[in-house]
């Protein structure tokens, strides 16, 4: 078992206006990830404009509070400005390189880890179609890592994806991709497992999966953890669901703690009040360790009992 696992949280720049939210992030976590503020669409709405206002705000908060930062993300098929797909294919490599040079260079020496390529493989374990893949083929992955390393040689560079918690065809494909990249001298330093789960369906081979990537010499991390459940405006999470959710969180963090190369366990959001789940998965919610009133749920103790002690979870509210 390892006692070096750091607990982190994805941060919404606008939610930092809420003093209770801001205080909870500052008190509980050692790592923060920009939930949206560093994605291409938010940073670069048009070809001639970079907007770093919200990304800078999160960086300033993190540095003031002494938090490590995970950058998310540089090359992704989603939340990508439409003008990229409209650009001629022969220009897209230059667009991606300029983006990586500018963004990674801006935060050089300040961001510890970057999710360089996010969700590069589809659910069938084949390369995912994207403006980058369409223009550059599979080589865009290696190029993105090389460019990111040139822009900040001190940053640890990760592949990152969902539905790769267990040993499965998709994680097998990533394992082979990682081996190939390393054999070709690509500066790949880590593999990120997102950890978006549905309650009652915990991973069964996560420790073994994390360990095989670690055996390649990579860092591993749980990067976007949440456990959603069926809820409606009328039917809220039951005690049974909340207990099952806590068990699922516990399964994941225990797997992470069992692998010394696992450096961080990042929650994808603090509370049900600021959640991406309801808009993305209709009929689901209540995915986080705090409820909408910032009261800790059983999942909180599952994640934090070894860090802050179970007594913290008995506090009625963080206000």
Instruction: Assess whether 224 carries a catalytic annotation.
Output: yes
Tokens at 70, concatenated? 């995970």
Distance CA 319, CA 207 (A): 36
Instruction: Assess whether 119 carries a catalytic annotation.
Output: yes
Map tokens 């095989």 to a residue. 212
User: Out of 119, 165, 219, 301, which one is annotated catalytic?
Assistant: 119
Per-residue three-class SS string for 14-67: HHHHCHHHHHHHHHHCCEEEECCCCCHHHHCCECCECCCHHHHHHHHHHHHHCC
User: Out of 35, 165, 219, 224, which one is annotated catalytic?
Assistant: 224
CA distances (Å), origin 10, targets 64, 133, 141, 155, 223: 17, 27, 24, 19, 9
Angle, CA of 99, 103 and 109, to the nearest 5°: 145
Catalytic residue numbers read: 119, 224
């Amino acid at each position: 078992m390892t006692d070096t696992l750091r607990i982190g949280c994805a941060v919404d720049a606008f939610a930092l206006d809420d003093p209770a939210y801001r205080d909870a992030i500052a008190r509980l976590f050692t790592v923060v990830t920009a939930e949206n503020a560093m994605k291409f669409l938010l940073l670069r709405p048009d070809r001639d404009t970079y907007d770093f206002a919200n990304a800078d705000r999160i960086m300033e908060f993190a540095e003031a509070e002494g938090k490590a930062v995970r950058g998310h993300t540089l090359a992704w098929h989603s939340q990508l400005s439409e003008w990229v797909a409209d650009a001629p294919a022969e220009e897209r490599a230059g667009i991606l390189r300029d983006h990586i040079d500018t963004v990674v260079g801006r935060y050089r020496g300040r961001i510890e880890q970057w999710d360089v390529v996010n969700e590069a493989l589809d659910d069938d374990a084949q390369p995912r179609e994207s403006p980058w893949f369409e223009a550059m083929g599979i080589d865009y992955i290696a190029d993105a890592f090389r460019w990111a390393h040139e822009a900040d040689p001190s940053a640890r560079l990760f592949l990152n994806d969902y539905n790769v918690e267990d040993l499965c065809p998709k994680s097998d494909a990533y394992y082979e991709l990682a081996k190939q990249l390393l054999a070709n001298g690509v500066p790949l330093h880590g593999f990120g497992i997102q950890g978006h789960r549905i309650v009652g369906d915990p991973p069964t081979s996560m420790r073994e999966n994390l360990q095989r990537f670690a055996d390649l010499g990579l860092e591993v991390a749980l990067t976007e953890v949440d456990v959603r459940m069926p809820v409606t405006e009328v039917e809220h999470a039951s005690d049974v669901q909340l207990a099952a959710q806590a068990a699922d969180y516990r399964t994941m963090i225990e797997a992470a703690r069992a692998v010394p190369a696992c450096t961080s366990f990042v929650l994808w959001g603090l509370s049900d009040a600021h959640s991406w789940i309801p808009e993305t998965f209709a009929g689901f919610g209540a995915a986080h360790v705090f409820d909408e009133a910032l009261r800790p749920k059983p999942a909180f103790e599952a994640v934090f009992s070894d860090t802050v002690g179970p007594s913290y979870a008995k506090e009625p509210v963080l206000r």
